[in-house]
Each structure stands twice: as structure tokens, then as C-alpha cells.
A and B are shown apart, each in its own frame.
Chain A
Amino acid sequence: MSETLPRDAAAGTIRDPDFEDDVLVRVDNLVKHFPVKAGGLISRTVGQVQAVDGVSLQIGRGQTVGLVGETGCGKSTLARCIAGLIPVTSGKVTFEGQDITNLSRRAMRPYRREIQMIFQDPYGSLNPRRRVGAIIGDPFTIHRTATGAERKKAVQELMERVGLNPEHYNRFPAEFSGGQRQRIGVARALALRPKLIICDEPVSALDVSIQAQVLNLLADLQADFGLSYLFIAHDLSVVQHVSSAVVVMYLGRVAEQGQKDQVYTSPRHPYSAALLSAAPAADPEAAAARHRIILTGDVPSPINPPSGCRFHPRCPKAQELCSQQDPALENKAGDPPTHLTACHFPVQADEDLARVGRREPR
């Protein structure tokens, strides 16, 4: 997917009023802070984990948006906010033009049918005490769309669609392999024919050969049902394979976003560049030729994030300005309009970050 959309620099999002119909989900300046409590009987809040701190993005119809970033950067929290599983601190989630931020459980109910999730752990996401038929049939029962024989038929059709043997209707999750279990999770998410499926690292717990099968299944389902995916992963090659657009997150903020090729071939944010340079390459020649950008230090605590640009203590290009002023997510000179970067000193095309002398963290 390579349609180029004019941007709205003020809001920091890729958006075009003419193309609003093509946008399924829009997230505006989403903030999710978790209070840190101390004290026993009477607890008081001593700090905030700034898990997601002002994220804006949008997911087009039939599009797959890849969300990448290190562990703890807020990817999963963002996903749960969009799915309405946890309340949002501030900001807005819009689904097909309807504001679905912080709806009550009852008000959220119709949107549950439209937004579904696939979880990371194929063992933890299926109740070990319940039969597979009951697990996949849950969406029908909860939304009262099918009962009895009708429900069983629908479940068996779903099982067949995701590549499971419908005869295994009465088995328990423990009797399936990891890949099969993930298919069960896919079938459950698919049951209500949602428009958006949020995939929270759906293949990271699987063997590489099984990963490919599940990814292909997801691609087939997208083609058949016109699904949109928000695809969260830390495996950059997986994201490159499935996504049309990519969002790179760092410590609760968007570092860079754009169409897949834009981010992958010419990353502008030093963090994206470092992330991409660290991804293992299957081709030994390419692996030998690449220059890895080694970041020092750990991801800072989201309870007390660095001032200015959140990446500055680890950034090879950081300057005085970076620690003082928070860079806006904006289109940089020479980039296509959909490519946005939050950096004061974006990486240039001919620049080799691996050779830039590291500065002392300030």
C-alpha cells in the first residue's frame, strides 16, 4: 500500500479530510500513566509510570500498521488502550469517526465486535479448563449471535478456516501445539468478523517455521475479510514482512512513523537507525557489510523519563538542544509527506551513525 496522504503538521498525524473514510482508527495524543503507589493500608501515589505519553497514529482500512520498539516502550499498553481494555489518562481514540475513548463496558459492547485482539502467549491466552469449542464459541455466546447447533457449526467453520481440524472441537488447549493454539486464538478473534485485529506480538512465542504459517494465515484472512491489523512486534523482519506502515516507539513516544519502505530504507530518527542496524540479517554478506550502531546504557525508567528528547542520553547525535527541547513529530525536509520524525538532528542519507563519536550522556 503506497498511497501518499498529505499531512497535517499541526496535529502531527498523517491525515487528509478527503481520505477520512479510509481511516478506520485514529489515535490522537493518547496518554496512559499508571500511578505508582506506596504505603500499605492507606496508599498514596508517589509517581507516574508514563507508559504512553502523547501518541498519535492512524490505521487505514485494510492496512497493516506495524508497531515496533523495545520491551517496555509502551507498545502493549497502547494496544490495550485502543482495545478499550484499560482506561486512558487523556487523548482520544476514534473508531470510524466515533469517539470510543473510556466508554463504559455496556457502551463499548458494540465496538468489541469490531476490534479484537490476538495475544502473545498461546499458552496463557486460552483457558486450560475449557474445551476449544467453548473457547472459540465464546464470542457468539457473549454477543448472543448464535446458540446451540448453529454455534457449533459456526465454530467448526472458523476452525476449518484457520487450519484446525473441526473434529477437535471437544479437545482441551493442552492437546494442541503452540502454533495450533495461536490458530485457536485467531479463530476466536475472527468469530465476530471484526474490522480491526490488534495483534500483540502474535508470533514471538512461536518457532520460526510456525511463525511463517501464522503470518501467512493472517495475510490470507486480511485478503478475505478486508481486515486491518495493528501488528505489534519486536522482530523487525516480521514487521517488514506484514506491514504497510510502520510506527517506531521509544519510551512512550513515537520516534518515527511512515510507510514501511520509507522507515526501513531511510530511517531518519537515530533510534530507528540503531534498531534497524541491530536486526539480524539472514544474508551473511549483508550481515558483514552492515555497520551496527551500538547504543549504550539501558532504556531509562518511564517513571522519570529524560528531559527534552527522551532518547538523548543514548543518542550518538545528541546535542545541547536535545536535552532541553522536546522535538515535535514532523515531516523532515526531503522526506515524503507521510514520513514523520521526532528529532532535532535527523539522520542524513549519507551519514554513518556507527562512526559518529559518542557523547557523554548528560
Chain B
Amino acid sequence: MSVTELEFQAQQVETAPEQAILGRSQWQLTWRRLLHDKMAVASFIVILIIALLAILAPVVAGLLGHGPYQAFSGKGLSADGLPVAPGTNGFILGTDYIGRDLLVRILYGARISLFVGLTTTAMATVAGVLVGLVAGYYGGWVDTVLARFIDAVLAFPFIVLALALAAIYGSSLLIVIGVITFFAWAGISRIVRGQTLSLKEKEYIEAARSLGAGPWRIMIIDILPNLMGPVLVLATLYIPTAIVVEATLSFLGIGIPAPTASWGVILSEAQQFYQVSWWYVVFPAAALLITTLAFNLLGDGIRDAMDPRTERLFAGSKRRKRRARKTAAAEPGALPPLTVSELGE
């Protein structure tokens, strides 16, 4: 490249219209980094597939001709009265103990799991952010009361509360959602409160106050956007927790009542049959595992994308290890050099 060409290019840069440079928001940057994280993208696709299957559960049931509650005592059970194996008599994943289609029940179970996971997390996030913001921003006795309440909730054994409520009112979906929400908001609140305590000391909060902004405007316009990162990560990681808690409560018989297809209910029923019918345990458990793993990995990916300095769990680790091994072999005894990613990208 000649000097004149370089000069020409430099000139182009100088005279480029200013509008061409549009400020990229934190979200846009996060989104770009997230798209480069293969693990997160894969997890997201898996979650989309699970959600699609859950939505299409009635369609699948219609195609197979097996409803979630339809018991096929003839072709669905063996001569000994045991569940039939996968692929028998048109039951792709086999049947359960009264001859219901396991695939259809697992798909209907996905609806329950996703519904519980999303609604509880949404409600807990709203409540947690609200309480955390108010406690952190107002401080003083308001904070003392709310913070002690949060501690009390976190110290409370949730199984005991669920048992008590199920004993009094009988188990139901509503109680499951209520119990999970009640215990989930406190964790979010504590994080939000801590962040708010540090954010409210920033000079831009003082600037907003000097302009005459009220406390709610400051909390929502000035503090909340700075909290969205950690809250989003936390919420993504709460979804799988809620799904597992729902399955646990249902497994124990204090969650979703029996005929409803929930993964916890299916696993609970399968207890007596796992020695003869492996599919009865493996498929619902696998569904639970894949769903929670996908949400957890997506949450990790979002956290990494939000804060590029955090060490990544999977992305690029193989390449880095190989490089480190190579240099270590070349100079025996020498420490592998610090790579850029280890120093913080």
C-alpha cells in the first residue's frame, strides 16, 4: 500500500459522517458476545426445542392417538400387568404402570415444568427487585426491617412450609407456585439490595437528586438499568432451580397432585418399577436433566457475556489448554505463560 493510499484512507476516516457511529448499548455488546458462545447458543436452541415440544404436546398426543390420561390396559400393559418397553405397540418411549403413553406424559410434564419455572421466576424477580431496591435505597429502619425479613425467609426450611400447606389445603399447582415464589424472591432481593447500596453512593445518583428527581424515578431510571445484568443472570439460574423444586415437591407427593403429568409425579410413580422398566425412570429424569442443564448453561453464558472478564467454563478452554501444554513441553519446568483470556479479556 502506498503512502498516498494510506493518506486517502486516513482522510476517509476523518470525513466519515458522524451519524455512522451509533453508540452501542451494553445490551447490544452483550448480545454479540452471547452469539459467539457456542455453549450458550446450543443451550438456547435446546430450550427452544423443549418449549416447542411442550407447546405442541396436544398435537403429538393427537397424532399418536394417546391422551395424557388415557390408560391402555390392553396394548399398554404386558401379560404380567407391567409397563411395555419403548417401541412396543406404537408407544415410542413405552408406557407407565397403568398403560399410559410415557412420551405424551413427559411432553405434558414439560408444560408444567416450564410454566412453573417461568411464572415463579417472573414473580420472584419482580418482588425481589422491588424489595431489594426499596431496602437498599431508603436504608435506615426500612432497610433493617426488610433485610431481617429476607434473612428470616432464607433461613426458613421450604419443605416444612410446603408440607404444612399441603396438609392444610391439599396439594395443588397454586401452592407449588406460591411456595417456590416465596422462597425465590428473597435470594434475588439480597443481591439487589447489596447492589443498590453501592450504586446509590454514585455521583450520578446525587446529580439526579440535585435535578429534583424523586426516589422512585431514581430507583427505576437510574439504578434499575445498572442492576439488570446481575438480575437477568440470577433469573436465568432460578428457572432450573424452580423446575427441580417443583419436581421434588411432586415426587414427595406434596406438589402437583397425581393424575396430572409432572416430571416429579412420573418419577415418583416409577419408583416401584425401576427394576423391571428402566425407561420409566430414565426418560423423565433425562428430560429434567436436559432442561435444567440447558437453563444453567445459558445462565452461565449470559453471565460471561455480561462481564467479559469472568473466566469462561467451556469456550476456548481446549485451545488454551493445548497451547499451555505445548509451551510447557517446550520448556520443561517453565510455567505456562498467562494468556490474554486468563488475564481478563
Q: Please, how many angstroms separate the alpha-carbon atoms of A338 and B144 in the complex?
A: 50
| B217→A142 contact, CB < 8 A | yes
Assess the B217–A167 pair: CB atoms within 8 A.
no
Q: Tell me the chain B residues, 266-316 only, with Cβ under 8 Å from chain A.
A: none
Q: A192 — which chain B residues lie within 8 A by C-beta? A: 211
Q: Are B210 and A172 in contact (CB under 8 A)?
A: no
Other A-B pairs, 11, CB within 8 Å; known A85-B206, A170-B23? A120-B203, A124-B202, A124-B204, A126-B204, A142-B211, A142-B217, A143-B212, A165-B18, A172-B24, A172-B25, A172-B26
- Asked whether B25 lies within 8 Å of A116 as measured between CB atoms, the reply is no
A-B contact count (CB 8 A): 78
B207 beta carbon closer than 8 Å to chain A? yes
Kindly state whether residue B59 has any CB partner on chain A within 8 Å.
no
A171 and B23 contact, Cβ closer than 8 Å, known pairs A120-B203, A125-B204? yes
Q: Which residues of B contact A112 (CB under 8 A)?
A: 210-212
Q: Within 8 Å CB of B21, what residues of A?
A: 171
What are the interface flags for A68-93 relative to B under an 8 Å C-beta threshold, 1 for contact and 0 otherwise? 00000000000010010100000000
Decide yes or no whether A44 CB sits under 8 A from chain B.
no
A127 to B203, CA, bound (A): 9
Most central of A127, A132, A165, A167 by chain B CB within 10 Å = A127
Is the Cβ of A127 less than 8 Å from the Cβ of B226? yes
Once A165-B18, A167-B19, A168-B18 are accepted as A-B contacts, the answer to whether A139 and B211 lie under 8 Å apart by CB is: yes
Residues 157-214 of B contacting A (Cβ, < 8 Å): 202-204, 206-214
Is B23 within 8 A of A129, CB to CB?
A: no
Q: A138 contacts which chain B residues (CB < 8 A)?
A: 208, 211, 213
The docked-state distance in angstroms from the alpha carbon of A125 to that of B226 is 14
Q: Hey, which chain B residues are within 8 Å of A117, CB to CB?
A: 206-207, 210
Q: Does B344 contact A (CB under 8 A)?
A: no
Give the size category of B's interface with A. Answer: 20 to 34
A105 touches B214 (CB 8 A): yes
B226 CB contacts on chain A under 8 angstroms: 127-129
Which B residues lie within 8 Å of A165 (CB)? 18
Q: Shortest distance in angstroms between A229's beta carbon and chain B's nearest beta carbon?
A: 15
Query: Which residue on A lies nearest to B17, using beta carbons?
Result: A167
Chain A 95-137 interface mask (CB, 8 Å, partner B; 1/0): 0000000000100110011011101110011111111100000
CB <8 Å contact, A130 and B225? yes
Asked if B343 is at the interface of the complex by the 8 Å CB criterion, the answer is no
A188 touches B (CB below 8 Å)? yes
Q: Is B22's CB within 8 Å of the partner chain A?
A: yes
The 10 listed contacts between A and B (C-beta, < 8 Å) are: A117-B210, A120-B203, A138-B211, A142-B211, A142-B212, A142-B217, A165-B18, A167-B19, A172-B26, A192-B211
B143 contacts the other chain (CB 8 A): no
C-alpha spacing A113/B211, complex, angstroms: 7
Q: Are A116 and B203 in contact (CB under 8 A)?
A: no
Which one of B23, B203, B214, B217 contacts A119 once the chains associate, using CB atoms below 8 Å?
A: B203
User: How close is A42's CB to chain B, nearest CB, in angstroms?
Assistant: 10
A113 contacts across to B, CB distance below 8 A: 212
- Cα distance A138–B207 in the bound complex, in angstroms: 10
Q: Are A119 and B212 in contact (CB under 8 A)?
A: no
Chain B 22-33 interface 0/1 with A at a Cβ cutoff of 8 Å (1 = within): 111110000000
* Interface pair A127/B211, CB less than 8 Å apart: no
- Contact: A129 with B211, CB < 8 Å? no
Name the 9 nearest CB pairs between A and B, nearest first. Answer: A171-B23, A112-B212, A124-B203, A129-B225, A125-B203, A167-B18, A127-B204, A117-B210, A119-B203
- B19: nearest residue on chain A (CB-CB)? A167
What separation, in Å, do the CA atoms of A172 and B204 have in the docked complex?
14
B222 at the interface (CB under 8 A from A): yes
**Would you list which residues of chain B between 299 and 337 have a CB under 8 Å from chain A?**
none
A108–B18 CB distance below 8 A: no
Task: Find the B residue at minimum CB distance from A134.
Answer: B221
Identity of the chain A residue whose Cβ is nearest the Cβ of B224 in the assembled complex: A129
B179 nearest CB across to chain A (Å)? 29
Inter-chain contacts of B213 with A (CB < 8 A): 138, 142
In the assembled complex, the Cα of A130 lies from the Cα of B225 at a distance in Å of 8
Is the pair A125, B207 in contact by a Cβ cutoff of 8 Å? yes
Are B18 and A170 touching (Cβ within 8 A)? no
User: A residues within 8 A CB of B19?
Assistant: 167
Q: Give the complex CA separation of A262 and B198 in angstroms.
A: 44
For residue B26, which residues in chain A have a CB less than 8 angstroms away from its CB?
128-129, 172
Q: Is A175 an interface position by the 8 A CB rule?
A: yes
**Per a CB cutoff under 8 Å, which of A85, A124, A128, A130 touches B209?**
A85
Interface string of A202-240 (1 = CB under 8 A from B): 000000000000000000000000000000000000000
Which of A115, A117, A143, A175 counts the most chain B CB atoms within 10 A?
A117
Complex Cα spacing A126 to B202, Å: 9
Contact, CB under 8 Å: A119 / B225: no
Chain A nearest CB from B21 CB (Å) reads 8
Output the least CB separation between B25 and chain A (Å). Answer: 7
**Nearest A residue to B227 by beta-carbon distance?**
A129
Can you name the residue of chain B whose Cβ is closest to the Cβ of A132? B23
Contact A116 to B210, CB < 8 A, known contacts A124-B202, A129-B226, A167-B18? yes
B210 contacts A83, C-beta separation under 8 Å: yes
* A172 nearest in chain B by CB position: B23
- CA of A138 to CA of B218 in the docked complex: distance in angstroms? 11
- Closest chain B residue, CB of each to CB of A42: B144
Measured CB to CB, the closest approach of chain B to A208, in angstroms, equals: 22
